Structure 1
């Protein structure tokens, strides 16, 4: 399933069916024409469904189309005034874990992802996160290193097992990404670690916040 800016009412947290598995949201960061992030995300979604540790959704930032951050209040207050922020908050709130599928732009991750992260605060906290990066010879690893402290600042539990895909264009044909065995094994290791963390982090989310 791919979320749009205005998710259907039936997908609201109050009306969603109860599931024994946490919900993994695979967030596609790239929005440019000709991007390869969506084929990579579709592959990862198939891997995650086979892994069976999570329910799985794809969240495409190109479809979300958030403007540059335009809320008058700090995200920690959750006093949102724009409908696009309220919709984005609801989507992220229902997620229990996230994988960020990111390109590398000029030795970092892209601005669209940073903007989407900055919109929210509480919604991200105490949930496991993984990163899938792709690119040329560096496989997006410099984007990963730039992204990790941002996720940590949002209190996401970033697992050590990231997936880094070199020369990604050579592994895509007719819009389908076909990984090698090392990439496939790396994805499974990442999902294993995220599943291990999901329970303890869910317990932290249930605890009341400390008084500031």
Structure 2
């Protein structure tokens, strides 16, 4: 059975360039044989966090939270595709992530960042690393940074130019790293129940 990977994307802007990178990641992982689903925070449309999923009485959470909680619990690993807003993370993706906690535990997460400029969303990636670790995920050391995104990926998520070639060269190692941690975490969960 192939690993189940959720790719999270969080821009709410009307002209979303990062969706190109999310599509590239989804297609790249599918091309390796993974079972991949894109979770688009804008499409999911969660309200600003008032009550976490776990704070609802059992069986009484809104349907969208219940469905997403099930997908997160059923995943073997996660990829967070994040843009950088004013040196920080996108609020839409952060809001979606914060609705859950225990559902994330004991699985690896990878960070893919982007920006319109040359820094490739590096500051957002740094912020996400600590956040995802605090939420019980093992953040893999391999990351991907894309910038300027408009010069790296076409409208349909295909690599273009020299920057696109560099992205294609970087992706296999990134995906191998994620796959290794997915296999390791899955094997350990099967062997021994998590400590909490």
TM-score, normalising length from structure 1? 0.81
Tell me the equivalent position of 2:76: 96
Give the superposed CA RMSD: 2.1
Q: Which residue of 1 aligns with 2:30?
A: 49
- SS class of match (1:30): coil
Aligned pair in 2 of structure 1 residues 101, 74: CA closer, same or farther (>3 Å)? closer
1:126-145 per-residue CA deviation (whole Å, 9 max, x = no partner) reads: 11111111111110000000
Q: 2:94 aligns with which of 90, 106, 114?
A: 114
Secondary structure of 2:85's counterpart equals coil
Aligned counterpart for 2:114 among listed residues 119, 131, 134: 134
- Residues 138 and 203 of structure 1: CA distance in aligned 2, closer, same or farther (over 3 Å): same
* Cα deviation, residue 75, structure 1: 3.5
For residue 209 of structure 1, report the CA deviation from its aligned partner.
4.2
Task: Figure out how many residues of one structure are paired with residues of the other and give that number.
Answer: 190
- Map Cα deviations across residues 65-113 of structure 1 (whole Å, 9 max, x no partner): 0001122x68489846333321221121221111111100011111111
Residue from 59, 64, 67 that aligns with 1:84: 64
- TM-score after normalising by structure 2: 0.87
Q: Distance in 2 between matches of 1:93 and 1:26?
A: 14
**Aligned ranges for residues 173-212 of structure 1 at < 5 Å?**
173-179=154-160, 180-206=164-190, 207-210=192-195
Contact 2:77 2:182 in 1 (8 A): yes
Unaligned runs of 5+ in 1: 1-19
Q: Distance in 2 between matches of 1:138 and 1:112?
A: 21
Say whether 1:161 aligns with 2:125: no
